[in-house]
Amino acid sequence: MKAIFLVFFWVSAISATAFAGTPGEVEIGGYLREATLHGFSGNTKKFSDYRGKPLIINVWASWCGPCRAEMGSLDRLARRYDGKQFNVIGISTDDDGNEAAAFIKKSKISFVNFHDSHVFLENMLGADTIPLTVLVDANGRVLEKVRGAHEWDSPETIEAIGKTFHIKM
């Protein structure tokens, strides 16, 4: 079963390259361009603020059933590792940031989320389908793109994350 999941995880990531792509997309192997991230509480960050440690970026929307379904497992993953080995952030593609903020509050999501109201980040990350989770190394290089909902805190997925980031989990 473990091998089947790992194969599914990698096939899912590889299949991302089969999609047509989005304007300005950073492909697997490319480096994220600098961008300002707008938080729901008025805070701003830049991608460069996350350099030095691997980063998991989840692109989602409050209206997306699969996005909502995987959010709990992403939050458990983020809480379990608490930014020690990698960071987890979310990028909401909701047109109405209030709906996304309400979902975050209602779901008690602990990891930082940002709002992409102008589809800039959505396009850069290649989110022509959501949920999309992008694994980025400590230097800002995109290692994998995983489409669809997953149980991010399952032992198999944690093992796959460790292998992708070349870290012991």
Instruction: Domain of residue 16: give its range.
Output: 2-165
Per-residue pLDDT at 13: 47
For residue range 80-137, what is the model confidence (pLDDT) as tens digits? 999 999 999 999 999 999 999 999 999 999 999 999 988 999 999 999 999 999 999 9
What is residue 19's three-state secondary structure? coil
- Interatomic CA distance for residues 124 and 140, integer angstroms: 13
Q: Which residues contact 100 (CB under 8 A, 6 or more apart)?
A: 40, 61, 62, 92, 94, 113, 115
Q: Does the pLDDT of residue 10 top 60, yes or no?
A: no
pTM of the model: 0.88
Q: What value, to the nearest 5°, has the Cα angle with vertex 80 and ends 74 and 84? A: 105
Q: Say whether the peptide bond before residue 23 is cis (omega within 30 degrees of 0).
A: no
Q: Which residues contact 164 (CB under 8 A, 6 or more apart)?
A: 135, 143, 144
Query: What CATH number has the domain bearing residue 34?
Result: 3.40.30.10
- Number of folded domains that form the chain: 1
For residue range 33-89, what is the model confidence (pLDDT) as tens digits? 999 999 998 899 999 999 999 999 999 999 999 999 999 999 999 999 999 999 999
Per-residue pLDDT at 23: 82
For residue range 146-164, what is the model confidence (pLDDT) as tens digits? 999 999 999 999 999 999 9
For residue range 137-150, what is the model confidence (pLDDT) as tens digits? 999 999 999 999 99
